[in-house]
Structures are given as C-alpha cells and as structure tokens.
Amino acid sequence: MKTFAAQSRRDFLKTASAATLSALAAGFPRAVFSDEVKKIKASADTVIVLWMGGGMAHTETFDPKRYTPFSKGMAPDSFLSTFPSIDTAVDHIKFSQGLEKTGQVMDRGTLIRTYTAGDLGFILHSRHQYQWHTGYAPPQTVAAPHIGAIIARTLGPLNPAVPAFINIGQRFDVGEGEELKAFTTAGFLGSEYGPFNIPFPDQAAETVRPPGGMTPGRFADRNQFYKRLLAASPLGEAGSDYQKESLLRSFDNAHRLLSSPAAKAFDLSLEPLESIRKYVPGYEPGRRFDAKQDRFGAKYEEQMVGRFGLGCLLARRLTEVGARFIEVSTEYIPFLNWDTHENGHTRVAAMKQQIDSPLSQLVLDLEARGLLNRTLIVLASEFSRDAMIEGKPDKRIKDQVEVPDRVEDPKHYGMHRHFTDAGSVLLFGGGMKRGYLHGLTAEERPCKTLSDRVIIEDLHASIFHAMGISPKLAYEIEKRPFYVTRDGEGKVIPELFG
C-alpha cells in the first residue's frame, strides 16, 4: 500500500491534476510562505474526521464520572453519568457503557479529554461547528475554508482519481442547513477544493455512476459523441482561451474519476456481507438508510443505526484507494442524534450503538491493511453536554433547556445542556501515541478541564502537523494572509505524537 501512495503522488504530479493547475493560474489564492513555515515531515497521508454533530456529552462516552441510576424524584444535579463505566484495553482509561468495542482498541489510540470549545455566547450548534471546522468563528469577512479544503488545497489529492475532500453523511436541507453550508465549503480557496458530498453512504455508488437510468454503454457513447461535436465545433476563434481550456480539463477530470477503478470504492455492494456486518451488525443487503427527519417520533436514531456504520465502511474503502480527507458525520439535525435536549439517556445509548462497531472496526481494518500508521482518525464534536451547566462554569450563558426541580420523568434523565469547558476527542493512527490519555477533568460537577486544555487552534495545528502542514501556513486573499490556524497561532501539541 505504501508504494501505491507514493506512485499516486507521482501520477498526480505527472498528470498535474489539470484543474488544480488551472485553478492556480486563474488567480486562486496562493500560499504565503514566510520563514516561519518550515518543512514538516508528515506522519499521515489521510485524515478521517468522525463527526459527532450535536454535542457529545463527555461524561456519557469517553470520560465517565460517577454513575447514578435513574430513580423517580431524583435531584437533577444528582447524576454526572447515566451509565456505568467500563474497562478498556488501557488500564487507566475507562469508557461509558456501550462503547465496549471501542474500548478494546483504545490501546491503539490517544484520548484527549480536555477539548474546550470557544466562547461564542448563546449556543448555536452550527456556529460552534463552523469554528471547529474552519478554526474561525462566524461571521467572517472572507469565506473561511473547511479544514478538509485546506488540506485538499495544500496537499492535493492522494490519488488523482479520488476527490481530495469527501464529506459523508450530512444533508443540507435540514435545520441550520444554511449555516452548515457556510462552513462545508472551500470558501475563498475556490470550489475546486470543496467537498464531494455523499449524504447517504448507502447511495455512494450513485455519485460516481452515470446519471439515473443511463446504462454505462450509453454513458460512454454520450461522451464519445460529445468529443466528436467538440472537435467539429467551430469555436476556434477564441483559440487557446483559458476559459475553454479549464472547462475541457474539468470534464476530463470528472470523467477520469467516473471511469477510474477507484470509483469502485464508492460501491458498498462490492463489500462482503460479513464485512459490512462488522460495521453494521445485522445488516441486510439492500437496506436503505434514508429515513426522513422525524423530530417528534423519537425513533429516528434507532432507524438510523447503520447509516454511520456504512459511512465508516465507505471511509475505509476510500482510504484504501487514496482519499486525502474524509469526514463521516453522524449527521447534525437540530434536536436529533447527539443534540439531546431530552431523553438524553436512552438516546445516547442509541448513539453509542451507532458508533461503537464502525469506529472500532475502522481502526482494526485500517490496521490489518497496514494503513493505520498513515491514516489519522479524529473523532470529535463541537462541544460536550451537562445536566446543569450551559457554557462554562465561570462563563454561564443563556439556558436553552428547562431543568425540573425533581426528575420525575425519565425524559429528564440525561445531559441536556450545552457544556463547553471539556469534551473528548479520540485520535487513532497517523503518528499519534497509542494508549495515551491527554488532559484531566474534574470528577465532580462541574466536570471541567483541570489540566492540559486543548483549544481548536492547537488541535488543528496538530492535525496539520501530522499532515506535514505548518499551522502558520497562510493563503493570500484580498492581499492579506489568511492563516490555516487563527492568525497562525495554533500550537502543535507534542505530547500527542508517538
């Protein structure tokens, strides 16, 4: 596999990803190099972000605290965790019940328990997500690029036939969809580096197939025919106009992607059933995971167990053929998935069920294929949750969820407020330490960060560092430098690296 990657890079340079070059020529932002941008040896070729959109409570997942079972009439501040903790493969690291399989691969990973979200005031999830993904808080005077776009722009595709930035599992016609779009973009870097969106992983194959109803034969004929018309078209007057060239090259690129052997990676039906079932237990062939948003049915998460699993499987397949940056989301929809404003306990149980198998299997599969060393997996969320505290203990913000004096109904048993003073980030591979725990949080409420605080700039700097990119790298827009970490101030966290 290693030779593959090296070869792909050479191919990339040889075929010179025409669109990338034409984008450069068209006055797209250029990198600003200063003395401070040093050559960094990359420890990873690919990044996979597993996005727990909606606010994953650390005390219910990777940072369990004292467990208090439900009892009618209990005080709302009497519980820190609503699940017992379990052992992992690493003695001093405990997880919350429901993450057993992930616990078994913890010896391959690094766990940050002290990720601290920004102080953006009254909570809007998409705003924190924007900050997580771009390193900047909106609004911004220029369109800030997603970290996937920065990596795509800086490093290019690993395999020229695979889009450099692939985004799996998030729709944009849901609540806050416009805000999600505002950061799921290459921004000022230009759409060449934007996301290749696959909202439904079970339908990924369709994104690289001929359009609906068209046979591959007809698709090929259509392209041949187009080439004939193109050759016959008398638009010679404009000569070698760059507009024309860039148009034609873009079609060549698209066609290369659609006809490349790598396109098979998108087709999950080519995966053996037993292998799919390791990601999605009990999966039956042909099962669809496109349930509509069902906010009040409360059955949505149960129906969707499996969609994230297929997303992770797709990520593995794409990593195998040379993807550069992949994000797989559990999908952010207001009040669904990790966004638990009520019924936190039961819903988080479903969410853990949704992620435990695929997360652990992804690690094992990449390891078995010799790819884990060069693939950095980052599981993260925009912030955490708590039963009582909205914001940070010393910076409380406007509450969004009513907490009753006594918890009579199980629906009030769980973490329903937005907590920004500690959250968990799980890292595997790509040069990170194995079996390492970073940062300490308080055992009692507020379960806040006590040491080794990690902020987004530093987390990004570390991800960039693993990819061989300086946190001080900047791209020029409107004559000023726009740094890949805010104002170039991101600091690599050396303890994370093995």
Partner 1 sequence: MDGAAFDSPGCVRYPSKRMNPGLSQLSVLLLAASLTPSFADLTPAQLGQLPPPAASPVHFTKDIKPILEARCINCHGRGKNKGGFRMDSRETLLEGGDSGPAIVLGKSAESYLIELVMGFDPDSVMPQKGTKLTHEQVAALRGWIDQGAPWDAGVSFGKLEPINLLPRRPELPRRTSETTHPVDRFMEAYFAAQKIKWPKLVDDRVFARRVYLDVIGLLPPPEELQRFVADRGRDKRAQLVRRLLADQENYTLHWMTFWNDMLRNDYRGTGYIDGGRKPITQWLYAALENNLPYDRFVAELINPRPEAEGFTKGIVWRGVVNASQTPQMQAAQNISQIFMGVNLKCASCHDSFINDWTLADAYGLAGIYSDEPLEMVHCDKPTGTTAPLRFIYPQLGDIDPHAAKAERLEQLAQLITHRRDGRLTRTLVNRLWQKFFGRGLIEPVDEMEKPAWNVDLLDWLAEDFADRGYDVKKLIERLLTSRAYQLPAVPAEEQTRDDFVFRGPQVRRMSAEQFRDAIGELTGVWYAKPAPQIIHADGATNRFAVVRAALVPADELQVALGRPNREQVITVRASVATTLQALELTNGAELSHLLQNGAEKFLAARNGDSSHALAEALYQKALGRKPTAPEAHAAAEILGQPAQKAGVEDLMWALAMLPEFQLIY
The torsion angles phi and psi of 133, rounded to 5 degrees, stand at -85, -25
Judged by beta carbon, residue 321 or residue 349, the one nearer partner 1 is 321
Q: How many CB atoms within 10 Å of residue 405?
A: 8
Q: Which stretch binds partner 1 (CB under 8 A): 58-66, 238-246, 301-309, 420-428?
A: 238-246
For residue 318, give Cα distances in angstroms to 4, 31, 117, 165, 322. Answer: 14, 28, 30, 11, 6
For residue 90, give Cα distances in angstroms to 83, 128, 390, 435, 436. Answer: 19, 31, 32, 6, 8
Judged by beta carbon, residue 38 or residue 479, the one nearer partner 1 is 479
261 scored as a contact of partner 1 (CB under 8 A)? no
Q: What span, in angstroms and rounded, lies between the C-alpha atoms of 433 and 431?
A: 7
CA 489 to chain centre: 22
237 scored as a contact of partner 1 (CB under 8 A)? yes
User: Could you tell me which residues are beta bridge partners of residue 476?
Assistant: 481
Site residues for partner 1, 200-229, by CB under 8 A, read 207-214, 218, 221-222, 225-226, 228-229
State which H helix or E strand residue 32 sits in. Answer: strand 31-32
Among 19, 40, 403, 450, binds partner 1 (CB under 8 A): 19
Judged by beta carbon, residue 245 or residue 284, the one nearer partner 1 is 245
Judged by beta carbon, residue 23 or residue 415, the one nearer partner 1 is 23
356-392 burial: b if 16+ Cβ within 10 Å, else e: bbbbbbbbbbbbeeebbbbbbbbbbbbbbbbbbbbbb
142 scored as a contact of partner 1 (CB under 8 A)? yes
138 scored as a contact of partner 1 (CB under 8 A)? yes
Among 12, 28, 200, 308, binds partner 1 (CB under 8 A): 28
Site residues for partner 1, 72-131, by CB under 8 A, read 119-124, 127
Q: Is the dihedral angle over the CA atoms 477, 480, 486, 488 positive or is it negative?
A: positive
| Shortest distance in whole angstroms from residue 163 CB to partner 1 | 7
Among 251, 267, 277, 393, binds partner 1 (CB under 8 A): 251
Among 54, 194, 423, 439, binds partner 1 (CB under 8 A): 194
25 scored as a contact of partner 1 (CB under 8 A)? yes
Query: Three-class SS of residue 303?
Result: helix
Q: What span, in angstroms and rounded, lies between the C-alpha atoms of 20 and 191?
A: 11
Site residues for partner 1, 441-480, by CB under 8 A, read 478-480
Site residues for partner 1, 151-190, by CB under 8 A, read 163, 175-176, 178-179, 181-182, 185, 190
239 scored as a contact of partner 1 (CB under 8 A)? yes
234 scored as a contact of partner 1 (CB under 8 A)? yes
| Shortest distance in whole angstroms from residue 235 CB to partner 1 | 4
Binding mask 334-363 for partner 1 (x = CB under 8 A): ------------------------------
Q: How many CB atoms within 10 Å of residue 173?
A: 8
